[in-house]
Chain A
Amino acid sequence: MISLLRSIGLIFLHMFRKRETIQYPEEKVVLHPRWRGRIVLTRDPDGGERCVGCYLCAAACPVDCISLQATEDEHGRRYPAFFRINFSRCIFCGYCEEACPTYAIQLTPDFEMGEYNRQNLVYEKEDLLIDSQGKYPGYNYYKVAGLSAGVKGKGEGANEEPPVDIRSLIP
């Protein structure tokens, strides 16, 4: 009896609480920056594609919905020739973002991707690549990598000595 009354009382009190239900789609939901929604490919601070086609996102993907092919430009800079995500399979787990060594692939707070036709959920690189650094500004992988791919020369990286003169015997 007492528990019954207590429940009724609690329900009565909830009438004066803040409402959680919102009138979507008229009213938009506020999402946190780290909310895991639509996947994008970002660019580095110099405007170049961040993705280097390392295949780690594809390997990490538990539903195998990412496929790509790496290629390289005349300077040896790697980039994806195509990059495809099948969002009809994606479970938005964010493992791809976690695996990405260059901050290229990122999940964004956007879930409004509904389609009538399932085929339209297959996103190609032109649908994924955005003109922004996304959540991680200031990082350019090729500046910290050891190889030279037209971004910096050998030994010009963040924490690198100038190239060794192999004809010298001086310590």
Chain B
Amino acid sequence: MVRIYIDQKPYDVKPGKNLLETCLTLGLDLPYFCWHPAMGSVGACRQCAVKVFKDENDKAGRLVMACMEGVRDNMYLSVNDTVAHDFRSQNIEWLMSNHPHDCAVCDEGGSCHLQDMTVMTGHAYRRFRFPKRTYQNQYLGPFLHHEMNRCIQCYRCVRFYKDYAGGKDLDVFAAHNHVYFGREKDGVLENEFSGNLAEVCPTGVFTDKTLREHYTRKWDMTMAPSVCQHCSLGCNIIAGERYGALRQITNRFNGAVNGYFICDRGRYGYEFVNDPDRVRQPVIHAEKEGRNLFESLSGILTEGKLIGIGSPRASLEANFALRRLVGEENFYQGIPENEAELLRKILAIQHSGHVHTPSLKETEYADVTLVLGEDPTNSAPRLALALRQAVRTKPLEDIAGSNIPLWNDAAIREMIQDEKGELFMAYPVNTKLDEIASGALHAAPEDIARFGFAIAHFIDGHAPVPEGMEPQTLESARRVADLLEKAERPLIVSGTTLFNGDIIQAAYQIGQALEKGERKAALCFVLPECNSAGLALMQAPSLAMAMKAAETGKFATAVVLENDLYRRAERSEVDRFFSTFENCIVLDHLENDTARRATVLIPTATFAEGEGTLVNNEERAQRFFQVFMPKNEHIRESWRWLDEFRQFRDGSRPDELRELDNLLEELVSAMPQFKGAEMAAPLSDFRINGQRIPREPHRFSGRTAMLANVAVSEPKPPEDTDSPLSFTMEGYRGLPPAPLTPFYWSPGWNSGQSMHKYQSEAGGSLRGGDPGVRLSGDGVHFSNGLQGTIPSAFKRQDNEMALVPLPHIFGSDELSVRSSSVEGRSPRAYIALSSLDAERLHAAEGSILQMRIGGQVFDLPVTLKNELPEGLAGLPYNLPSMSGITWPAKGVLTNTAL
């Protein structure tokens, strides 16, 4: 701690920070533009001027940019000094001299950092009488709208897009007073994190294009803290609603998980909630006509034995409610056996005690990273961004001795030049991370696993060595092993993407080899879906087991929870499975093939309409909260429906109706491995000064008019029985606990930049700790998950091709692909081949080949990927037109044109 004096008041502050961070941490309002807590200072905007004095007797002082000056002991400075204040207000006036008269039609208005800073400095009247500079805009794709006239040249966009996210196609053009931020020519912004520009830009140059289609000001939205549903990382988001439709997803800061940024799948994948194909009414199959829902349900539920199929995209509560309805022994995970096996293995590894499971934030500080059989950019995009930071921040260690502080971004980047941290990629095809990797291996999954075993052998001589490896591959394995061994914070990333247990085993062997007493290697696993870990922790058998059990014919009814089984197994198998039941109850929110097989179809809530808990890839239990109460009373959380079913069957006892808290309590007592999940957020009776936390900002408008077209007397606002949040604007206005923060706002700070008011220090973790609870996994026995043998090398088969699934950030996720913007970026179905294989089949890029996998036939255009080994082909994973393949798959490829 050092002592500084700001405007004659003493403060004890943390050393090593710059003055701007320090002032913001102390709660002083100091305007800024170009500084960003995740990206450091460059001193480009000249906005955060303060006066620094030589000593206590110095009266003149000198102006400095607070973001470019470090904190020193016994420092005297002034924020409110007239010269400093006038400088700041003149600077804003200059920035505003070319800013258009656009606020009324600008999407940023009401959450605009430039607006806030202008008001803060007191610039109210325009004195500049001369013409304004104008620019032409560009088309930037389905995610972002470009309005270049509004730019204030803070350079945050290129610093984020190019430096932080590694984008190539956004840059600064032209010179002096008309620099231009855009692409070389019109076109789709390619980077997977482009949507963050809407939040990074302090004004309205880049705005959310999907929000534009149903534009709502920030102050008019009903918002709730939520968790992204589109991959296993569990990034924290804020979801906003107006007039019964979900309008926008923005980032919610969680220092341990996503920090300041989320990927475009998470930001733009929300529109499935507003899909016209939503299931909105309970549907009873034609044969049961004449009976109402209650009668037919209580009939079905009491008539015979039930089998329950859970889902990795449903919440813990929903899966548990189903398990209780059907009984523990009749509850099955709705995932293929292979996937269940991989998840068991991963959980066993994470609880083995030999490796460390890092949070997403920790992965940003790895000094050597090995990615074994994963393509994070497509399977867990936010992790790819974290790995980029690991590569970027590693060289900073070497300059720790120099006089340049780490927040001085431009200077340290100049100093480290092109130096990078070590990242090694092993994946069948090229990935986006290859460009920053110090080495990459493109091989079949078996060979990637063998490569991993070889690395383990080179670290720990006791580990077995794979036979017959190529000397070149062995040499690079030796190099990676050497790097990992010397590393202080080694990180191994692996996961389920290639559906190969040997790769996971190899990752574990490396982790085990690296274990030195207390020091453990970090092993980060990418899982398939948002609650895969939670479902796997319930330790139920897989879908294949359910199919086997159903064949005995002892079950009369299947209850399928939020799961399209036709995506999990081959069509004929699923058809046979459904034909063994008299009745099938399907609970889902979207129309799909499984929903069409239902005898009773129950509409359920999406993440925006209900509450629940998800367990992410590091086994962090996180609560998402209901954003709005759907007008349609049939749309309710799955766990609420399932709990009611249980009561129908056992004789209706409405007084026993479960609330979320009770359900979680029972979950934890039934399965102690979930201990801590009930603490992920405060209980529903939590109040501050007797008040709930409002989901609506205090300036929320239209309360007495929005429903007046239906009836002029305003209805009572909906009540929330499951959480301490309220659906109104009334309630506690101070800082809520971190897991309950529905939006970021502070007096004078309307934009998302007000986040620092919610942090214990600017850029640090949230006050009261980052949300989410890591589960201990106590009381679970992960049997024989830790053994494995070295697989034999991959060999080309003459009659059939081995297939690897290639996930795509836009397209492979079942829900987000229902958003029109995401669907627009999704690839068409294809088959990736090496040119050797293509030549053999007399095919060229684009020619159509027929692929037969089991009983399924696909006609697919060829994409040449020469890095693929001969005999191995890649197929896009889980595209809507290509689901139902059991991975790892083999297929027969023929050229029907011949």
Contacts and interface: CB of A to CB of B under 8 A. Distances in A.
A59 B132 contact: no
B180 interface: yes
B135 A61 contact: no
Contacts of A68: 702
B549 interface: no
Interface-central residue, B216, B702, B705, B709, by most chain A CB under 10 Å: B705
Contacts of B105: 52, 54, 78, 145, 147, 149
B131 A161 contact: yes
Contacts of B713: 118
Interface stretch (A5-13, A21-29, A119-127): A119-127
Interface residues of A, number: 51
A36 interface: no
Contact of B104 (A52, A67, A154, A157): A52
Contacts of A64: 700-705
Contact of A55 (B136, B217, B706): B217
A168 B178 CA distance: 10
Contacts of B101: 144-146
Interface in B677-694: none
Interface in B727-756: none
B898 interface: no
B516 interface: no
Interface string B28-54: 000000000000000000000000000
Contacts of B132: 146, 157, 159-161
A168 B703 CA distance: 52
A70 interface: yes
A164 interface: yes
Nearest to B181: A166
A4 interface: no
B147 interface: yes
A86 B705 contact: yes
B97 to A, nearest CB: 11
Interface-central residue, A68, A164, A167, A171, by most chain B CB under 10 Å: A164
Nearest to B174: A166
Interface string A54-70: 11101101011111111
Contacts of B400: none
Contacts of A122: 705, 708-709, 712
Nearest to A164: B178
Interface in B104-134: 104-105, 109-110, 130-134
B703 A84 contact: no
A102 B105 CA distance: 10
A89 interface: yes
Nearest to B713: A118
Contact of A59 (B212, B699, B704): B699
A66 B134 contact: no
Nearest to A162: B134
A126 to B, nearest CB: 12
Given A58-B702, A146-B150, A171-B176, A69 B243 contact: yes
Chain A: interface secondary structure?
A: loop
Nearest to A69: B243
Contacts of B699: 59
B103 interface: yes
A162 B133 CA distance: 7
A117 to B, nearest CB: 9
A159 B131 contact: yes
B858 to A, nearest CB: 38
Contacts of A154: 134-137, 149
A164 B149 CA distance: 10
Interface string A36-74: 000000000000000011111011010111111111100
Contacts of B706: 67, 84
A166 B135 contact: yes
Interface string B198-231: 0000000000000010111101100000000000
B719 interface: no
A85 B705 CA distance: 6
B135 A164 contact: yes
B897 interface: no
Contacts of B11: none
Contacts of B136: 154, 163
B174 A167 contact: yes
A121 B704 CA distance: 12
Interface in A134-171: 141, 144-147, 149, 154-155, 157, 159-164, 166-169, 171
Interface string B134-153: 11110000000001011000
**9 tightest CB-CB pairs across the interface, nearest first?**
A146-B100, A67-B702, A58-B701, A54-B104, A67-B705, A146-B149, A164-B178, A64-B703, A155-B134
18 contacts: A58-B701, A59-B110, A64-B701, A64-B703, A65-B702, A68-B702, A71-B215, A72-B212, A84-B706, A101-B103, A119-B711, A119-B712, A122-B708, A146-B101, A146-B134, A160-B134, A166-B178, A167-B173
Given A61-B702, A84-B709, A86-B704, 6 more contacts: A58-B220, A59-B110, A119-B711, A147-B149, A159-B130, A161-B131
